[in-house]
């Protein structure tokens, strides 16, 4: 019997829209912050630093199964631009970089709210998410602004747990809180090498979410999957959960 449904955040609950606006805002904040140091940062230099920061982030994420903290990533960004060390400035950027997702938010996946409303009637829901510039505390505010925070009973954010999917503790953190065995839970996520591999490795069921607008990571997914099912829309999810419930 399925008791708990755990769900990935990015490109499963929310898409990645407005990323360009978020980067532009971060650039503006950076320019304002370093102005006191009389240092000029060109747009191409900012973009290169951003690219290098994500490469740094992704290397640690993939190899160490953890995500650098928001401040750790901003510190790398700051050093890459060879800026004079300024702890207060770095702290300010860390906050601004993280909170800009609230000013230029992504969009909810189509029909997710309607289907969460159905699922919460029969199952406990939880979020298991790897985080980047925006920590779990900010992502919760995004959930609240979209009136879906109340659907979830437990959360596992990588900046809070210190581990990232597919590390087993990312999953056990919420399963233990909800007193649920892995075999009585199903995880929904878009990335095979993290979401699906991690869930299946501890005995959970899994549904790979494959929308019509894949992101850079889900594009790397193999055609065959370890997941029990692959869903392209949220309208498919409730019936697939019911099928898993009968196994």
> What distances in angstroms separate CA 241 from CA 123, 192, 196, 220, one per listed residue?
10, 19, 15, 25
Query: What is the pLDDT at residue 4?
Result: 98
Query: What is the pLDDT at residue 33?
Result: 87
How many structural domains comprise the chain? 2
Query: What is the pLDDT at residue 218?
Result: 67
- Regarding whether 128 and 80 lie in a shared domain, the answer is no
Task: Among 103, 138, 171, give the residue marking a domain's end.
Answer: 103
Q: Which domain holds residue 176?
A: 4-16+107-245
Task: Determine the 3-state secondary structure of 226 from DSSP.
Answer: coil
- Regarding whether 224 and 137 lie in a shared domain, the answer is yes
Query: What is the pLDDT at residue 213?
Result: 62
- Regarding whether 128 and 228 lie in a shared domain, the answer is yes
Task: Among 68, 103, 138, give the residue marking a domain's end.
Answer: 103
Query: What is the pLDDT at residue 208?
Result: 97
Query: What is the pLDDT at residue 35?
Result: 79
Query: What is the pLDDT at residue 212?
Result: 64
Q: What is the CATH number of the domain that holds 188?
A: 3.40.50.1000
Query: What is the pLDDT at residue 247?
Result: 78
- Regarding whether 132 and 91 lie in a shared domain, the answer is no
- Regarding whether 211 and 199 lie in a shared domain, the answer is yes
Query: What is the pLDDT at residue 27?
Result: 87
- Regarding whether 235 and 113 lie in a shared domain, the answer is yes
- Regarding whether 160 and 241 lie in a shared domain, the answer is yes
What kind and span of H or E run contains 95?
Answer: helix 87-103
Query: What is the pLDDT at residue 75?
Result: 95
Low-confidence ranges of the chain (pLDDT < 70): 212-218
């Amino acid at each position: 019997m399925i008791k708990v449904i755990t769900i990935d955040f990015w490109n499963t609950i929310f898409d990645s829209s407005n990323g360009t606006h978020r980067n532009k805002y971060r650039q503006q904040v950076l320019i304002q912050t370093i102005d006191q140091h009389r240092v000029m940062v060109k747009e191409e230099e900012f973009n290169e630093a951003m690219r290098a920061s994500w490469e740094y982030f992704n290397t640690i994420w993939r190899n160490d199964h953890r995500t650098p903290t928001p401040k750790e990533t901003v510190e790398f960004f700051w050093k890459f631009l060879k800026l004079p060390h300024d702890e207060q400035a770095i702290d300010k950027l860390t906050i601004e970089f993280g909170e800009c997702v609230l000013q230029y938010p992504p969009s909810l996946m189509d029909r997710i709210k309607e289907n969460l409303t159905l699922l919460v009637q029969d199952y406990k829901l939880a979020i298991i998410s790897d985080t980047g510039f925006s920590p779990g505390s900010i992502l919760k505010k995004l959930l609240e602004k979209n009136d879906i925070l109340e659907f979830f009973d437990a959360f596992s954010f990588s900046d809070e747990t210190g581990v990232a999917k597919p590390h087993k503790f990312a999953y056990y953190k919420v399963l233990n809180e909800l007193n649920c065995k892995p075999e009585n839970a199903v995880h929904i996520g878009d990335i095979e090498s993290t979401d699906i591999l991690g869930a299946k490795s501890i005995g959970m069921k899994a549904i790979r979410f494959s929308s019509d607008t894949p992101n850079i990571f889900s594009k790397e997914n193999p055609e065959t999957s370890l997941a029990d099912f692959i869903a392209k829309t949220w309208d498919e999810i409730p019936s697939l959960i019911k099928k898993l419930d009968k196994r």
